[in-house]
Amino acid sequence: MLKFLIKVKQLIKNINKQGPILILLLLIIFAAIRYDYFGTWKNISNIFRQVSMIGLCAVGVTFVIISGGFDLSVASMAVLSGCAAAVLGNNILIAIAAPLLIGIMGGLLNGLIVTKIKVVPFITTLSTSMVFKGIALLLTNSKSTPIQTGIASRFAVLGQGNIMGIPIPTIIFIIICCIAVYISRYTKFGRHVYAVGANESASRSMGVRADRVKLIVYTISGFTASLAGLILASRLNAGQPTGANNWEMNALMATIIGGTLSTGGVGKFQGTFIGVLLLGFIQNILNMEGTLSSWWQDIIMGTLLVLVIVLQRNEQRTLFK
């Protein structure tokens, strides 16, 4: 009986770790059999291009959640950055640098409110999300604002261009993911992020500067969200104040489905990458099916999210008391 319980515990752990990959593989096999167009490079590259923006937001969100925090402001930050590129971008350097700086400052603001004023992350980022969205609406007068003519063609390359047939947004997403993996695995800061998320009090007693870690992870989240917003503006050739709908929830779902514990301290960026792909392939399959409402994506992903959280909770519980 004892051996059986140990095997059950190990099975739950393996399902939680490998489940997203298995689901992704099953989806790919199903879609490849059912849809002739699915396996074409044009379709696959389009999926990667689409998910890259959510993926960039998810990388930042993963850093925040591993540290024990929460970030609901990524969608609004992306929108604000895209609008800033359209309004402020009288040359290509300003069109790229100004939104990224805004993202960094916005993320730093979130971190300062959480660490210095001690407002809980959920309330902090919900509030700043409304502020960022409001500023975007003011900048654009609530209208879609085209990228300025003098830089439009060059700016469009960021979101619409390819390098050796690979979408530039995909290349950016993969590079950011690789950097995140390196930071989390091989740097002192990465170890501190996990330590703060697992037990902030214990990490402080070991000399970890928890507040500084939080400031940095929120700043990273702001930066990656603004980068996603730049790509969105480049794809649309405009700053769209009503864009990026539900990006914050999609980024959160991709992060948790990828194996990051919502309570902090545990998570891998490779898992977030798989979670982002799951979002993209599910949406693509629904589009190909044609007869199903796009709302099914929310139903499917919501159900999957609940199942993953249940598995995570089961893994955290001890079978022997």
Mean pLDDT of the chain: 88
Residue 205 lies in a domain: yes
Encoding tokens for residue 185? 């695995």
Banded pLDDT at 149 (limits 50, 70, 90) = confident
Residue 187 lies in a domain: yes
Banded pLDDT at 199 (limits 50, 70, 90) = very high
295: pLDDT strictly greater than 60: yes
With a pLDDT cut of 90, the percent of the chain lying above it is: 67
For residue 60, give the H/E element and its range: helix 41-66
Residue 4 lies in a domain: no
**What does the pLDDT look like over 29-81, one tens digit per residue?**
988 898 888 889 999 999 999 999 999 999 999 999 999 999 999 999 999 99
pLDDT greater at residue 314 or residue 178: 178
6: pLDDT strictly greater than 60: no
Residue 10 lies in a domain: no
For residue 319, the model assigns a pLDDT of 40
**What does the pLDDT look like over 77-115, one tens digit per residue?**
999 999 999 998 788 999 999 999 999 999 999 999 999
In 182-217, which positions are buried (b, 16+ CB within 10 angstroms) versus exposed (e)? Answer: ebbeeeeebebbbbbbbebeebeeeebebbebbbbb
Domain that holds residue 134: 45-251+261-266
Banded pLDDT at 222 (limits 50, 70, 90) = very high
Residue 54 lies in a domain: yes
The residues near 141 (Cβ < 8 Å, ≥ 6 apart) are none
Residue 204 lies in a domain: yes
For residue 294, the model assigns a pLDDT of 66
For residue 8, the model assigns a pLDDT of 46
* Cα gap 12→29, rounded to integer Å: 24
213: pLDDT strictly greater than 70: yes
Domains held by the chain: number: 1
Predicted TM-score (pTM) of this structure? 0.90
1: pLDDT strictly greater than 70: no
In order of 39, 215, 250, 300, the CA distances from 303 in angstroms are 27, 33, 13, 5
Residue 128 lies in a domain: yes
5: pLDDT strictly greater than 70: no
Instruction: Determine the average pLDDT of the residues in 167-178.
Output: 96
Measured CA angle at 147 (ends 61, 242), to 5 deg: 50
248: pLDDT strictly greater than 60: yes
Q: For 83-143, what is the HEC assignment?
A: HHHHHHCCCHHHHHHHHHHHHHHHHHHHHHHHHHHCCCHHHHHHHHHHHHHHHHHHHHCCC
pLDDT greater at residue 229 or residue 262: 229
Banded pLDDT at 179 (limits 50, 70, 90) = very high
Residue 202 lies in a domain: yes
* Cα gap 67→57, rounded to integer Å: 16
Range from 17-21, 196-200, 291-295 that averages highest in pLDDT: 196-200
